[in-house]
Amino acid sequence: MRKHILIVGGGYVGLYSAMGLRKLVRSGEASVTVVDPRGYMTYMPFLAEAVGGSIEPRHVAAPLGQVLKGMRVLTGRVTRVDHEARSAEFQPVQGPARTIEYDILVMAAGSITRGLPIPGLAEHAVGFKSIGEAVHLRNRVLANLAAAASTDDELVRRRALTFVVVGGGFSGVEALAEMQGLADEAVRYHDGIEAADLSWTLVEANDHILPELHPDLGRWTVDALRRRAVDVRLGTRLTSLAGGVAVLSDGTELDAGTVVWAAGGRPSPLAAASGLPVDRIGRLLATEYLTVAGVEDAFTAGDGAAVPDLTRPGEFTAPNAQHAVRQAKLLGRNLVAYVRGRRLKPYRHAYLGSVAGLGHHQGVAQVYRIKLTGLLGWLAHRAYHLGWVPTARHKAAVLADWLLAGLFRREMVRLEAIEHADEDFRHALAVGQTDGTGVPAATPEPAAGRPVRDVSAAGEAGSVAGTDARQAPAA
């Protein structure tokens, strides 16, 4: 009988396992549905370069429908799984929720940003886990430089030029390094601002950064960042962000215009909410065959799964792309074996080491026992990650971006308008209803500082006015 495989999540695990199935599965054996709220896989290790501008953000995203042509890709979120009934509740991006029946489940929903109950965090910090956040951060750096160059208010200027990143793992360190690289280049185009006017702080609760790497490389990175005038605060926590002021556990207060929260992730809550077996931190319990422990017809891998590490008995594989990609490839093969009633293979992969890019042509890399720093580390970071970019087209696009960024200076355009795409339109409509003085005939209800069209003044239907009101952002 033809099996229906449902893959929840189209990130590393979802995409690569589906790509494997696409190659291996015979027609008539199985059909595959991939569900993801974004509809594209994000190539996370290059997100920081998208902030810095050496890679175009679109090139770190692989559209699932295009890459998995011929497979069913649904855009939306699985909100609950009832594995007993072999059915999942699915909320599409538009329209009512529906149910998806399946025979075999693959849980690949990864992780979400880990929040802490810090006052002001939700209102004032920016996360760093998605392309949207990367684009926003890039715009924010450029917008803040422009704001600082345009004001004569010293407090506004100081705030705009103060950047704080919380979290000394890969994502925090790379984000800070690339933001600084971008800003250092952008200051050339602003009279009255020099790189030395900008304040950069990296806050890390542990006494070291980049824990995935050898301690020597973490120390080298701290020194490299400090040489670039980054204030690296080890053994320090963010305790408050109320009013946008970053208060650190050592008593320091920084009136920061930009605070990036990169303090780690936690497993997707979907598995626990669906009654599947999870460990104490919410990871789905997996066997070395990438099946869900004690559950028939269910598989898992990646950041959301506790996969036994056969090379380090008693431990679990770390949540990183190195394991996620390799697990996904085996997962694809094991799914085919499962459908065919054959034996599954165990996952075994010894840690190869890791790489991190620090902008400014610097990086750190650890490949087995070999440690590389500076330019060599940077080249290793780029070569390694380029190798894992999912398609030939994306590899070519990333290479072309690097070539352009190497030949010419970086593109400095900031496209904040994308984040408020309807603003000009609404403004134009509001001005269109003025008496010629530029003042609207009827004063519209202001929402978060945006001009809102007063449709009732134009005699239009109340339902349209209601639509406008709903679309206005909460203040």
Ligand X SMILES: Cc1cc2nc3c(=O)[nH]c(=O)nc-3n(C[C@H](O)[C@H](O)[C@H](O)COP(=O)(O)OP(=O)(O)OC[C@H]3O[C@@H](n4cnc5c(N)ncnc54)[C@H](O)[C@@H]3O)c2cc1C
* Element holding 384 (H helix, E strand): helix 374-388
Asked if residue 353 binds ligand X (CB under 6 A), the reply is no
DSSP tag of 1: -
**Two tokens, residue 256:** 């920061």
Asked if residue 47 binds ligand X (CB under 6 A), the reply is yes
For residues 11 and 308, which CB has a smaller minimum distance to ligand X in the complex? 11
For residues 175 and 187, which CB has a smaller minimum distance to ligand X in the complex? 175
Stretch that binds ligand X, among 4-12, 184-192, 231-239, 282-290 (CB under 6 A): 4-12
Backbone angles phi, psi at 78, to 5 degrees: -80, 125
Stretch that binds ligand X, among 41-49, 114-122, 240-248, 432-440 (CB under 6 A): 41-49
The count of residues interacting with ligand X (CB under 6 A) is 33
Contacts 24+ apart (CB under 8 A), 21-29: 21/71, 21/332, 21/335, 21/336, 22/68, 22/70, 22/71, 23/332, 24/332, 24/333, 24/336, 25/335, 25/336, 25/339, 28/2, 29/2, 29/3, 29/336, 29/339, 29/340
Cα–Cα distance for residue pair 311/44, rounded to 1 Å: 26
For residues 268 and 373, which CB has a smaller minimum distance to ligand X in the complex? 268
Stretch that binds ligand X, among 252-260, 292-300, 318-326, 372-380 (CB under 6 A): 318-326
Give the nearest distance from C-beta 63 to ligand X in angstroms.
12
Asked if residue 8 binds ligand X (CB under 6 A), the reply is yes
Cα–Cα distance for residue pair 132/149, rounded to 1 Å: 26
Give the nearest distance from C-beta 85 to ligand X in angstroms.
18
Cα–Cα distance for residue pair 11/42, rounded to 1 Å: 6
Asked if residue 12 binds ligand X (CB under 6 A), the reply is yes
- Angle at which helices 12-24 and 321-339 cross, to 10°: 40
Give the nearest distance from C-beta 111 to ligand X in angstroms.
6
Member of 321, 331, 335, 365 binding ligand X (CB under 6 A) = 321
Asked if residue 362 binds ligand X (CB under 6 A), the reply is no
Q: What angle do CA 82, 288, 300 make, to 5 degrees?
A: 30
Residue holding tokens 């994502």? 171
**Two tokens, residue 361:** 């042509």
Asked if residue 9 binds ligand X (CB under 6 A), the reply is yes
Q: How far is C-alpha 14 from the geometric centre of its chain's CA atoms?
A: 16
Stretch that binds ligand X, among 197-205, 227-235, 301-309, 422-430 (CB under 6 A): 301-309
Asked if residue 319 binds ligand X (CB under 6 A), the reply is yes
What residues between 98 and 127 interact with ligand X by CB under 6 A? 108-110
Edge-first strand listing for the sheet containing 353-357: 353-357, 363-367, 370-373
Give the nearest distance from C-beta 317 to ligand X in angstroms.
10
Give the nearest distance from C-beta 201 to ligand X in angstroms.
19
Asked if residue 78 binds ligand X (CB under 6 A), the reply is yes
Residues that bind ligand X (CB under 6 A): 8-14, 35-38, 44-45, 47, 77-78, 108-110, 128-129, 170-171, 268, 270, 302-304, 319-322, 324
